[in-house]
Amino acid sequence: MAQYGHEAPLPDPDSGSYRIPEDTDSSFAESPAHGFAVARRMRFLRGEPVTEPMPIADALRNSPYRHPATMSAPEKDAGTRKALDLAVRVGELLLRCGAGTRDVEASVVAVAAAAGLRRLEVDITNQSLLVQAPGPSGETVTMLRVVRSSTRDFARLTDVHVMVQELTRGGFTDIDEALGRLKRIQRSTRIYPRWLIAVGYSALAGSVCALLGGGSMAIVVAVLSAFVTDYLGRLIRKRNIPSFYIDAVGSAVSVMLAWLGYLLAAKGDLGLQMSTADFAYAVSGGLVVLLPGRAMASAVEDAITGYPVTGAGRLLTVFLSAAGIIVGVAGGLSLTLKLDSALNLQLTSPGALHFGSSNATLSLQFLYGAVGAAAGALTMRSRPRFILPTAVLGSLALGLSGLAHLVWAVGATTSIAVASVSVGVLARVIGLRLGAPALVLVLPAVSPMLPGLRIFEGMYDAIVGSVIGSAASNTQSAAAFPTLLGAAGVALAISTGVVLGDVLAAPLDRNALRRRRARIR
């Protein structure tokens, strides 16, 4: 449980300001060299400081809410309870909207400090938020919230971020005014209709399929697959079925729809063309829509930034979601490949789906990255004014990744990591200037880089051996695990790169916030 207070931090032993003992000879004391030697010796002999609650200033050091303007401290326990209720409500809403644990804790601490609380204890464990603060009478006030579900609502997340910024710079006269603002944000409707979200998923799937090198038929199939998968997911979710089964059904449907498109093209009656590689590209586009990219990024961020329990819980959710996708792909492939073997459509021939990297040129990668990022921002319900900056960052992410891999001969996974770090830095700088947390820009921007193709290729290699039963197919089966491990490596490179970029950009917050406040005035 993290404890925060306004106690002055312990003296910094690295500051160099050490007192010379009184019994030291004055002739030696006047020597700078001797004074430095005494200071070094005293620092060497100094014991470790006593463990004390972390000052609030230290808790907010790398957050956008540095040095909050504070109201007067509550004089009664009721005032402490009201201030604590505001902080807990802010944290609960941020968790529901998909914010990372570090951002939630910083927001809760900033709101509590701005509301006049001097000491605070915050504990965020996976789905629960526990906050404690002592009242003026000495009685401890405790509040607990449990968030059992989260949504992709970045518009509401941005509104809460703006509200916390206004509160920390003294924009509200009292706590009641801030509570009223927060309640209006909670009651606000979502900004996009559900059919438009489905269109965003379809556009994301089509852009990924085109990026991989799919033909027109494959792109159409990927778009249709994403739309159908989203619709089926909503129907299943209404019956309170766990998300594991939703992911399994969606990935199986994506595989079967791609095979139907391949079957129609193979018959040749309609004049359609779809190669075996196009079949894989169409499925990959649909899988990117299902991949838990946001949860993966949040889990890695929590594990890296000092929240191991929450990170482990979210990683388990990510693994279950990925397992559902793999089970669905395996089931769909088992059925379609057996039908394909019976119909002799050459989809199960050894090496049928062995393909290299994307065939798209650098210019097309910039274009597809922009389209995919804009579509991802739409699916996560970002406000319209953030869609264009997100598209620019997505274009930069894919373009820089392709440039590093094709021109500078950097490894594929390393180039993705480099692009993710760059996007993480720019997302924090641009987001703060626009009044949004970096999460709102960075997650949609990296969506087109998620490893849907590698997951499908790994599952194809694992299953094709049991369908064909030849020596060549058995070799493919042996390569399945390294391929799936490579997919996990790509996802980890994206997540860790984004977190590193956000940390590197933290010192630039001061200039971005100063410019935004100057524009508001």
pLDDT of 24: 41
Strand order in the sheet with 128-134: 54-55, 2-5, 119-125, 128-134, 140-146
Residues 131, 237 share a domain: no
Q: Which residues of the chain have pLDDT under 70?
A: 1-3, 5-58, 268-271, 294, 344-360, 464-477, 510-521
Residues 87, 17 share a domain: no
Q: Nearest 5 degrees, angle CA 194-CA 179-CA 111?
A: 100
Residues 372, 279 share a domain: yes
User: Which of 155, 187, 219 marks a domain boundary?
Assistant: 187
User: Which of 35, 54, 73 marks a domain boundary?
Assistant: 54
Residues 427, 330 share a domain: yes
Residues 63, 50 share a domain: no
Alpha-carbon distance of 330 to 161, in angstroms, equals 42
| Phi-psi category of residue 61: left, alpha or beta, with phi > 0 → left and psi -120 to 50 → alpha | alpha
**Structural contact between residues 274 and 262, judged by C-beta atoms closer than 8 angstroms:** yes
User: Which of 187, 205, 233 marks a domain boundary?
Assistant: 187
Residues 137, 122 share a domain: yes
Query: Could you tell me the CA-to-CA distances from 67 to 6, 42, 112, 175, 357 in Å, in that order?
Result: 12, 33, 13, 18, 48
Residues 478, 497 share a domain: yes
Alpha-carbon distance of 148 to 112, in angstroms, equals 24
Looking at the structure of the chain, the number of domains it has is 3
Rg (CA), the chain: 27
Residues 212, 82 share a domain: no
The boundaries of the domain holding residue 45 are 2-54
Residues 129, 43 share a domain: no
Residues 314, 170 share a domain: no
For 2, other C-beta atoms within 10 Å of its C-beta total: 16
Residues 299, 158 share a domain: no
Residues 119, 74 share a domain: yes
Q: Nearest 5 degrees, angle CA 405-CA 408-CA 410?
A: 50
